[in-house]
């Protein structure tokens, strides 16, 4: 379950809740448990221990926070460019809708020229 590392823990909690109802937990309790496990996982990763058996390409001390910030800026830039592109396409479509009727008003144009 490398894609969702808390799958086993959440399944266990859910199973207890369904089976006994006395073990029902609030969302806050579940988040607190996950946070405690996160600390243990981070500590283990820093020591080189792979908690879930997934391949680790990068240890936490090798991570570059500036890369994450750079990715955020890239996402914002791409979002802005995409928004502009969509707006431009919309303007083109609206202009194209007006073009044919305008061409039809011009006397002397053949159907092919329109």
Give CA–CA dist 18/74, Å, rounded.
Answer: 44
pLDDT recorded at residue 1? 40
Residues 6-40 pLDDT 10s = 667 767 666 655 545 555 555 566 667 776 776 66
**Residue for token pair 């144009």:** 109
pLDDT recorded at residue 73? 80
pLDDT recorded at residue 97? 87
pLDDT category at 49 given cuts 50, 70, 90 is low
- Give Cα 114 distance to the centre of its chain: 46
Residues 60-100 pLDDT 10s = 555 555 666 677 788 888 888 888 888 888 888 888 888 88
CA atoms within 13 A on the CB side of 5: 12
Query: pTM for this one?
Result: 0.35
Give CA–CA dist 41/23, Å, rounded.
Answer: 25
What's the rounded mean pLDDT across residues 52-67?
55
Q: Is the pLDDT of residue 103 over 70?
A: yes
């Amino acid at each position: 379950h490398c894609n969702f590392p808390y799958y086993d823990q959440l399944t266990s909690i859910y199973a207890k809740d369904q089976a006994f109802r006395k073990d029902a937990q609030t969302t806050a309790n579940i988040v607190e448990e996950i946070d405690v496990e996160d600390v243990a996982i981070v500590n283990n990763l820093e020591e080189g221990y792979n908690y879930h058996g997934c391949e680790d390409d990068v240890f936490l001390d090798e991570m570059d926070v500036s890369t994450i910030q750079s990715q955020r800026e890239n996402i914002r830039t791409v979002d802005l460019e995409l928004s502009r592109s969509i707006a431009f396409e919309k303007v083109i479509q609206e202009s194209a809708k007006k073009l044919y009727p305008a061409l039809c008003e011009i006397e002397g144009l053949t159907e092919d020229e329109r």
